[in-house]
Every structure is written in structure tokens, then in C-alpha cells.
């Protein structure tokens, strides 16, 4: 049985796949297995996977019909045999000592999950992302619950770093005991269509974990891709939001019936509303006439959970442009949001 299973969902990334797999086969911790899940990729990825499998007996290849990243990750989980599990996206790559550093921390501290740091890659720029101010080993329920809040909305981090960061919910910097995942039936929710599924995966890990450790060492290189699934126009954005909200309501009912996640949830709803403005209502690719979009936007602001979130959210936790959005949401001012978006520029730069 290998110490670690690395699961790689693969779709249409032939330009990046070699870099990714090379970073895995050259890990300083050799006792690993690498599961390459070909999610019906239409390019040369299936052949690249098979070539690597012939060269390295630690590599297993799963060829399947396209079912999305969540289903691909779940297929990898089902096939995994390692003591621990971690994921790697196929357009990213791991630091060569990632498995060694995470595994040693996990064994030494006897925890359910180990969190590492990442580098964010924007073109030729490398940005070191630190998630927490200090290293830690948590065994107290109260402290681990705070990790859940930070996962839902990062400004609820109880010991934030000195510089902004992203990716609290990413599955690619977290080494998790496989037996723990099986015992708690934790996997990726395919009903979320590949959006926020990683945040839910992480939330369920923290909600069930008895212990967690964090090491201040970069283990992963996350490539910022402007055309990724999370940054492109989606006609079904409101349906995606509905799926996310329903899933979070179920999560809160089970793990936070006392309401201690209500305010992070409100902030997350505002974040998803902001995404809807950018990726749907005011996207240049939206074929609907502006008058129709503004009417739909106003109707949306009256709906739940948007209306309650705008009224109850802790504004001091929001980003500055999100505070402006909340003001206009409470006024149900669709035209004001249009002006805010197009006159002031893209939402992320307001």
C-alpha cells in the first residue's frame, strides 16, 4: 500500500500535462501512486497518460466518458489505495518535496488533514500564498470550526496572514487520510457542476476532522487561467447558485444548527451574487436585451437567500466593492448596479 495517492483529473490540457505529471513522478517521496483520470479528453491527453503509465509502474490511468471534474475526482478516490490522498489539477504542478513535507507533518502530528501553502502563478509572476499567520496543530473543535468559516468566506479566517490570499477551499494543498474520507463518506458533489465543489469537500473534511495541521511551506503551484470554468460566461449561473445555496443549507443544518456559520454564509451569498453580475447579468456574451436582464436582476434581489444575506451580512467582512453592491441590493436598484459595473469598471477593480 503506497503512502500517498495523488489524483489528477484531466481534460483538454495537453499543453500543461507533461509539466504536471513530471512534478509528480519526481517527488522526493517515492512511495506514492499517481492516478491519472482521463475525463474523456478530446486532445492528446489520453495518449500522454498511457505513455507515462508504461514508463512508471506507480501510475494508474482511468479512461472514462466526460462527466466533469467532480466525477473524475470521485473516480480517482474510488481507485485510490494510499494511506493518504491529495489532488493535483492537470494545468498546475506540485513542488518536488510536497508529498514528503505533508506526509511527515501528518504522521508526526497524527492528524486527519495537513494543509500546506501554495504559489500562485500569474504569467511570469510568482505570488507566495500564505493562508494563516502561524503554523498550527488543532485538536479543539472550536478551532477546527473556525477553519470551516474561513473555507466558506476567507475574511472569517481567525488568524489571517499579513497579505491577501486565495484558495482556502482548494483540495490540492491538503493531504487527507483516506480511511477518514471513507469513514465519513466524503467526496465531491457532482450536483454542483464543478463550481464550489472543492469548497464543500474541504468544509466536510473540517466539519468531521478531529485534528488538523498547517505547515508554512509551499507545496503547490496554482496557475491562474483567465478562461477557466470559474471565470467564463455561464447562462446557468443562477441555477448553479441555487445548487450551491441548497447544498450549504443542508451543510449548516447538519453541522451548524446553532447558527454560527450564518454570517459566513451570508458573505458567501454576496460573493455568489457578485459572480452572477460578472458572469451572467452584465457579461458581454449574454444574448438577452439589457432591459430583460435588469428586470431579471431586480427579481433576483427580492429572492432568497440574496435578500436576507444583503440585510444580515457583516459588511466589515466584505471587500470594498462588495459593500457597494450590498447597498444597492438593499435598495433593489438594478440600474445602480449596472452603472456601478460599467462606469466604475470591472467588479474586481471597483
pLDDT in tens, the chain (350 residues): 999 999 999 999 999 999 999 999 999 999 999 999 999 999 999 999 999 999 999 999 999 999 999 999 999 999 999 999 999 999 999 999 999 999 999 999 999 999 999 999 998 899 999 999 999 999 999 999 999 999 999 999 999 998 888 889 999 999 999 999 999 999 999 999 999 999 999 999 999 999 999 999 999 999 987 655 555 789 999 999 999 999 999 999 999 999 999 999 999 999 999 999 999 999 989 999 999 999 999 999 999 999 999 999 999 999 998 999 999 999 999 999 999 887 666 544 54
d(CA 331, CA 188): 37
Judge whether 228 lies within some domain: no
Are 133 and 165 found together in one domain? yes
3-state secondary structure 112-179: CEEEEEEEEEECCEEEEECCCCCCEEECCHHHHHHHHHHHHCHHHCCCCCCCCCCCCCCCCCEEEEHH
Judge whether 296 lies within some domain: yes
Judge whether 229 lies within some domain: no
Are 215 and 174 found together in one domain? yes
Domain range for 195 is 4-223
The answer to whether 92 touches 22, Cβ cutoff 8 Å, is no
Residue 259: which residues within 8 A CB-CB, separation 6 or more?
Answer: none
Are 160 and 295 found together in one domain? no
Q: Which of 173, 196, 223 delimits the end of a domain? A: 223
Are 154 and 282 found together in one domain? no
Are 9 and 47 found together in one domain? yes
Task: Give how many domains the chain has, as a whole number.
Answer: 2
Judge whether 251 lies within some domain: yes
> Positive or negative, the Cα torsion across 178, 180, 182, 184?
negative
pTM, to two decimals: 0.93
Are 179 and 314 found together in one domain? no
Q: Which of 223, 250, 271 delimits the end of a domain? A: 223
Are 110 and 183 found together in one domain? yes
Q: Which of 194, 223, 252 delimits the end of a domain? A: 223
Amino acid at each position: 500500500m503506497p503512502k500517498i495517492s495523488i489524483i489528477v483529473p484531466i481534460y483538454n490540457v495537453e499543453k500543461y500535462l507533461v509539466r504536471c505529471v513530471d512534478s509528480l513522478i519526481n517527488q522526493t517521496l517515492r512511495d506514492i501512486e499517481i492516478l491519472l483520470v482521463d475525463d474523456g479528453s478530446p486532445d492528446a491527453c489520453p495518449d500522454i497518460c498511457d505513455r507515462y503509465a508504461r514508463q512508471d509502474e506507480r501510475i494508474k490511468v482511468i479512461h472514462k466518458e466526460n462527466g466533469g471534474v467532480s466525477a473524475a475526482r470521485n473516480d480517482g478516490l474510488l481507485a485510490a489505495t494510499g494511506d493518504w490522498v491529495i489532488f493535483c489539477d492537470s494545468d498546475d504542478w506540485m513542488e518536488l518535496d510536497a508529498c514528503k513535507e505533508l506526509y511527515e507533518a501528518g504522521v508526526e502530528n497524527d492528524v486527519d488533514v495537513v494543509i500546506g501553502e501554495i504559489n500562485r502563478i500569474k504569467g511570469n509572476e510568482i505570488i507566495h500564498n500564505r493562508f494563516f499567520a502561524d503554523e498550527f496543530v488543532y485538536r479543539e473543535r472550536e478551532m477546527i470550526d473556525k477553519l470551516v468559516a474561513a473555507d466558506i468566506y476567507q475574511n472569517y479566517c481567525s488568524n489571517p496572514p499579513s497579505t491577501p490570499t486565495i484558495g482556502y477551499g482548494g483540495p490540492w494543498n491538503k493531504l487527507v487520510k483516506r480511511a477518514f474520507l471513507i469513514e465519513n463518506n466524503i467526496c465531491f458533489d457532482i450536483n454542483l457542476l464543478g463550481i464550489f465543489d472543492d469548497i464543500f469537500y474541504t468544509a466536510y473534511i473540517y466539519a468531521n476532522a478531529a485534528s488538523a495541521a498547517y505547515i508554512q511551506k509551499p507545496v503547490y503551484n496554482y496557475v491562474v487561467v483567465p478562461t477557466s470554468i470559474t471565470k467564463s460566461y455561464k447562462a446557468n449561473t443562477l441555477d448553479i447558485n441555487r445548487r450551491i445555496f441548497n447544498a450549504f443549507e443542508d451543510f449548516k443544518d447538519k453541522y451548524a444548527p446553532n447558527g454560527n456559520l450564518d454570517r459566513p454564509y451570508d458573505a458567501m451569498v454576496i460573493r455568489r451574487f457578485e459572480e452572477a453580475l460578472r458572469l451572467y447579468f452584465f457579461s458581454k456574451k449574454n444574448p438577452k436585451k439589457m432591459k430583460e436582464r435588469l428586470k431579471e436582476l431586480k427579481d433576483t434581489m427580492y429572492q432568497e437567500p440574496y435578500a436576507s444575506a444583503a440585510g444580515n451580512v457583516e459588511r466589515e467582512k466584505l471587500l470594498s466593492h462588495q459593500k457597494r453592491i450590498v447597498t444597492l441590493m438593499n435598495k433593489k436598484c438594478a440600474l445602480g448596479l449596472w452603472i456601478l459595473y460599467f462606469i466604475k469598471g470591472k467588479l474586481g477593480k471597483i
